[in-house]
Amino acid sequence: MSIYRFGADLAVAASMPKHSMRAREAVKVGVLAPLTGDASAWGRPGVEGCRIWADRLNADGGLRIGDQHRRVEIIAYDDQYDPARAVLGAKHLVLEQGVKIILMLGGDTVPALNDFLTRSRMLATTLLPSDLSPDTPYLIAPCEVHPIYVVTGVDWLAENRPELRRVALCAQRDALGLPSLATYRAAFEAAGMTVVKEMLYTGAPEDPDAMVDALMSASPDILCWDTAYEPFVHALTEAAYRRGFKGQILSCTCDNYPALIERTSREFMEGFLFQFPDFDDPALADSGVDFPRPAEFYAEFNRRFPGEWSAVSWQYCAILEMWRKAVERIQTVEPTVVLSAMKLGGVGRNVFGEARWWGRALFGVDHALVGSWPVVRIHDGRARIVEIRSILSWWEKHGDLLLRHMRACGQMWDQRLERQARGLSTFEDYAPRIKS
């Protein structure tokens, strides 16, 4: 939004009656995400993290709006990663609960929600910038920049393990898997690596051993699990262990990796590369990290929700922290005003430091907050950050390459809108060319 729109929104906010709400009336935050099913590891832990964040904030007096201290209440709705349920959930949260922001995983559920969220002028967030388009004016991606951050892992691997040249990868045929497939293709090409085998699957891999056998038949140095859900990452990794794979494994996530170490071995998991750190990582104690007391948060999360830590445990509440700062700065919870405040000036801070609102070339709108992202490696049984790398620096060098692969995979914003206009899903009517 322009600075002129921001000024207009602030003027509206200023004209509102002061203290029109009771001091003890809660500000409701909606979370619309899969809490059950295959994708639940990217929903349920996020709600749990939000509850910790809200408990901390409320114990400290709540949101400070003028002379009011407003309690924050988390309202979660399980969409089961189903578009029809997501629509019901959004209407429940907005019309019945009166939430002021909706936090979402995103993906296949978003197209069904766009019209309602836009008509409601509801501030909504997604963990998947590939959901963004000019038709989603109130949808932003202020925390996770999936799948663009995966370029940092590939780039690091190319510099530190230059002997690894041959890649076999698999991806799920959905709104999480296909943009990730395109980004990995671009990253491997930029790094001078060769993709020797690709496989797509719908739903859960029916036979992980057979899939890994097929991938290994191409004699890869690297097995890449793309953006597979936690159960699939575990199944494929265990299959690679049973098949005696000795090379490098690369994935977007590796949630609950201690369980994988137990079911394989510490030696086999050594060097496993992915993108999400544990929050007791010493690298997050650096002053450039913008997350309140990350080690304390990590310890509390594991105490309250043992075995639940995942890639999203901190992401939804990191968004809420950005939202809180904007609310307390402009002294209102009105969604469109807060959105304008969050994007004012085109710059901001995400968890890993300075970032800017970006994405017009890929998404048709600058609604993704993009900066740097960590590269995480399992060493001696623990996941540790080996480097935090700039996504934008990679983009400046290889942006045209990413655009080409995104279009080849049918994932550019105009292609997605065209399919939606035809009543198709994100991946219907698309047959990617797969290297076999």
pLDDT tens per residue across span 326-359: 999 999 999 999 999 999 999 999 999 999 999 9
The verdict on 31 and 113 lying in the same domain is yes
42 lies in a domain? yes
**Eight-state DSSP code of residue 101:** -
The verdict on 132 and 52 lying in the same domain is yes
pLDDT tens per residue across span 138-195: 999 999 889 999 999 999 999 999 999 999 999 998 888 999 999 999 999 999 999 9
Burial (CB count <10 Å: 0-12, 13-18, 19+), residue 100:
buried
The verdict on 122 and 132 lying in the same domain is yes
SS3 category, 145: coil
Mean pLDDT in the chain?
91
What is the CATH classification number for the domain harbouring 165? 3.40.50.2300
436 lies in a domain? no
The verdict on 197 and 238 lying in the same domain is yes
Number of folded domains in the chain?
A: 2
Structural domain containing residue 398: 150-281+373-421
Tell me which residue has tokens 């262990």.
241
The verdict on 59 and 13 lying in the same domain is yes
Question: What pLDDT was estimated at residue 387?
Answer: 95
Question: What pLDDT was estimated at residue 430?
Answer: 57
pLDDT tens per residue across span 8-47: 444 444 444 444 334 468 999 999 999 999 889 999 999 9
Q: Which of 372, 391, 409 is the last residue of a domain?
A: 372
The DSSP-derived string for 183-219 is: HHHHHHHHTT-EEEEEEEESSS-S-HHHHHHHHHTT-
Question: What pLDDT was estimated at residue 95?
Answer: 98
The verdict on 251 and 394 lying in the same domain is yes
Parallel, antiparallel, or unpaired: how do β-strands 124-125 and 27-33 relate? unpaired
